[in-house]
């Protein structure tokens, strides 16, 4: 009997230490693919439990953006007369709101995903990135009804004759850029939030600024005019246009708003190249967020 124990120990002795995983660490986002079945369970749970015991259920996915649209349209469109300066302002406004809602929900939920799943993090080993990725996927699923509503409205306004392959690619590019950017920021702030809960307040502040720091409620040409009037350097406008949220909003405007209007508003400068640059910025944000997340995830269980 003792010989069998000795043989087992000998077997473990010949295995190099590099073959063992350090507790509390993972291979990063690669493990999300390897654990995709668990990811599917987390996403399904997040989708099915969101509106549990709710009378309206999935209708809330339309109520929130509808209420946002109504408030902004009345205040900005009617009271501040943006409805006159921007043709088909309701479509312009709503196509930007759906992008901001996708970013806001994905970013916020990813930030709180580790803290909200503290019992699992403390007791069960599984790749922690699963929680952030599942939170972003749930946000994307809740974004789809809003996108469908926008599409239906545009169809009634004669969107089909103006649709092109580039328009479809613009929608896909906008979704990818915004989603990657939200996931990268969510991983970064989600890891910090485990130890310092101030991260949640910072995220709330950033989300408040995100709506106004991108051309959702106004036209990008207004920023251009303000920069010239104030005598600011041109790189400020270029920096503004390199905001991944700004690019996502402008791509949706290009795909949904421009085909249903005869606007004379020029396209943002370098829309095609900025799509590439903002994609690289979003990808870089994801890599930085993943790096910080992996560096801090070993202490998640203790800090929670």
Residue 98 is predicted with a pLDDT of 93
Q: List the Cα angle 108/73/237 in 5-degree steps.
A: 65
Nearest to 129 by CA among 72, 61, 186: 186
Report d(CA 153, CA 150) in Å as an integer: 5
Rounded Cα distance between 122 and 127, Å, is 12
pLDDT of residue 71: 79
Tell the residue number behind the tokens 């990135």, with chain if given. 129
Domain boundaries, the chain: 39-303
What digits encode the pLDDT tens for the residues 147-191? 988 888 888 877 777 778 898 999 999 999 999 999 999 999 998
Residue 288: its pLDDT value, please?
A: 94
Confidence (pLDDT) at 88: 83
Q: Are 266 and 260 in contact (CB under 8 A)?
A: no
What letter would DSSP give residue 270? T
Query: What's the predicted TM-score (pTM) here?
Result: 0.85
Return the HEC string of 35-48: CHHHHHHHHHHHHH
Nearest to 183 by CA among 278, 103, 300, 115: 103
pLDDT at position 1: 47
Helix residue ranges per DSSP H, the chain: 2-13, 29-34, 36-50, 60-72, 82-85, 89-116, 118-123, 129-156, 165-195, 198-212, 220-230, 235-241, 244-252, 271-296, 300-303
Residue ranges in the chain whose pLDDT is less than 50: 1-3, 5-6, 11-12, 19-20
Packing angle of the helix pair 36-50, 129-156 (nearest 10 deg): 60
């Amino acid at each position: 009997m003792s010989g069998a124990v000795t043989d087992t120990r000998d077997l473990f002795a010949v295995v190099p230490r590099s073959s063992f995983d350090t507790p509390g660490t993972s291979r990063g986002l690669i493990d999300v693919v390897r654990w995709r079945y668990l990811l599917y369970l987390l996403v399904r749970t997040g989708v099915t439990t969101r509106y549990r015991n709710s009378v309206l259920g999935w209708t809330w996915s339309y109520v929130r953006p509808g209420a946002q649209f109504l408030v902004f349209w009345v205040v900005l469109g009617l009271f501040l007369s943006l409805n006159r300066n921007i043709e088909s302002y309701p479509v312009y406004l709503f196509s930007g709101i759906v992008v901001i809602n996708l970013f806001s929900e994905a970013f916020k939920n990813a930030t709180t995903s580790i803290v909200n799943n503290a019992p699992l993090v403390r007791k069960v080993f599984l790749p922690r990135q699963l929680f952030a990725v599942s939170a972003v996927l749930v946000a994307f699923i809740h974004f789809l009804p809003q996108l469908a509503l926008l599409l239906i409205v545009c169809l009634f306004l004669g969107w089909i004759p103006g649709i092109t392959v580039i328009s479809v690619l613009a929608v896909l590019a906008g979704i990818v850029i915004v989603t990657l950017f939200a996931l990268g920021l969510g991983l970064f702030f989600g890891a910090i939030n485990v130890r310092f809960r101030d991260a949640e307040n910072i995220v709330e502040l950033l989300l408040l600024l995100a709506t106004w720091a991108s051309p959702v409620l106004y036209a990008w040409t207004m920023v251009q005019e303000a920069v010239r009037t104030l005598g600011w350097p041109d790189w400020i406008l270029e920096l503004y246009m390199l905001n991944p949220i700004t690019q996502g909003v402008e791509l949706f405007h290009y795909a949904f708003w421009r085909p249903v209007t005869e606007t004379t508003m020029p396209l943002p400068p370098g829309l095609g190249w900025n799509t590439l640059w903002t994609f690289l910025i979003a990808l870089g944000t994801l890599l930085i967020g993943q790096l910080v997340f992996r560096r801090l995830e070993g202490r998640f269980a203790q800090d929670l």
